[in-house]
Amino acid sequence: MKIIVAKTAGFCWGVSRAIDLVMKAANDGNSPIYTDGALIHNPQVLKVLEQSDIHVSGNIDNITDGTIAIRAHGITPQRRIHLKEKGLKIVDATCPHVGGIQGIVKKHTHDGYSIIIVGERGHPEVIGLLGFTQGRGYLIDADEDLENLPALPPDKVCIVAQSTQSRARLHEVTEKIRQIYPEALMFDTLCDVTADRQDEILDMAKEVDLMIVVGGKNSGNTQRMAELSREAGVDTFHIETEDELSLSDINGHKIVGLTAGASTPDWMIKRVYQRLEEMAQELASPVAV
């Protein structure tokens, strides 16, 4: 069995930056550090951060000392004000690319535009973006959302996307939106790193007969990579750790593709690779069942 590892697998620069920021704050003596929600969407990394006194907080109202870190997905302006009012030290780990999207939304809202966001309902990045729209933001998650769009001035509509959306999905939705608002402004706010990963997994799908996608089950970009692989007709498993793999999963497959989401550390990818190698050797053994 041959294993092909994606060149783009692993941490994106935004995730690396977020982890570096909170680790530096911890090393500089600012512990305990509480992240306002999960810093990134990877349970294994969050467990490692716990060892450095960096904790996920579900309710910052109970925090009276220490440091608060803003998650990589960003937050609403109202949330930022609330954090500042607590008087605690703040580490802003918002991904700069997400911050750029927030800037587009903020500017065009100020200029009188209504903002249409193509993204996932309930995703923290989307929640943050909607917070900049002053009540004039509309989320398109499913096709039914298009039917609920109100009558808006056609020359005052601005379209952006959650940074980890698939390019194909964004183009499809944008075309439908422009049928309603032909003069709408469109900003391509997809993260280049995400787009490169999506392109690579589609290329890999032409070569492999099994795809293993490693990353948090709640990671939007990892979920979309797995979806793209399945849509390409490849048997696909989305896993968080090597323990989720079994011999029956890979039995009968000749070429396995291994890739990972933007919040998956290299050490986790290596562990999955090692497990695949071990299972390949077991299957090749005459006593393999």
Q: Can you give the pLDDT at residue 287?
A: 60
- The boundaries of the domain holding residue 240 are 2-10+192-284
pLDDT 10s digits, 165-182: 988 889 999 999 999 999
- Give the CATH number of the domain where residue 26 resides: 3.40.50.11270
Boundary (domain end) residue, out of 186, 214, 237: 186
| Same-domain pairing of 256 and 203 | yes
Q: Can you give the pLDDT at residue 61?
A: 84
Residue 275 lies in a domain: yes
Treating both helix axes as pointing N-terminal to C-terminal, what angle do 13-27 and 43-50 enclose, rounded to 10 degrees? 10
pLDDT 10s digits, 1-50: 999 999 999 999 999 999 999 999 999 998 899 999 999 999 999 999 99
Average pLDDT, the chain: 94
Number of separate domains in the chain = 3
Boundary (domain end) residue, out of 74, 94, 114: 94
Say whether pLDDT at 286 is over 80. no
Boundary (domain end) residue, out of 170, 186, 202: 186
Residue 289 lies in a domain: no
Say whether pLDDT at 288 is over 80. no
Nearest to 158 by CA among 123, 195, 132, 125: 132
| Same-domain pairing of 21 and 37 | yes
Tell me, yes or no, if 125 is annotated catalytic: yes
pLDDT 10s digits, 103-115: 999 999 999 999 9
Say whether pLDDT at 243 is over 90. yes
| Same-domain pairing of 210 and 181 | no
Q: Round the CA-based radius of gyration of the chain to a whole number and report it.
A: 21
| Same-domain pairing of 103 and 77 | no
| Catalytic-role residue among 120, 125, 240, 242 | 125
Please state, for a pLDDT cut of 70, what percent of the chain lies above it: 99
- Give the CATH number of the domain where residue 254 resides: 3.40.1010.20
Q: What's the pTM?
A: 0.88
**What is the spatial distance between Cα 158 and Cα 112, in angstroms, rounded to a whole number?**
10
Say whether pLDDT at 159 is over 60. yes
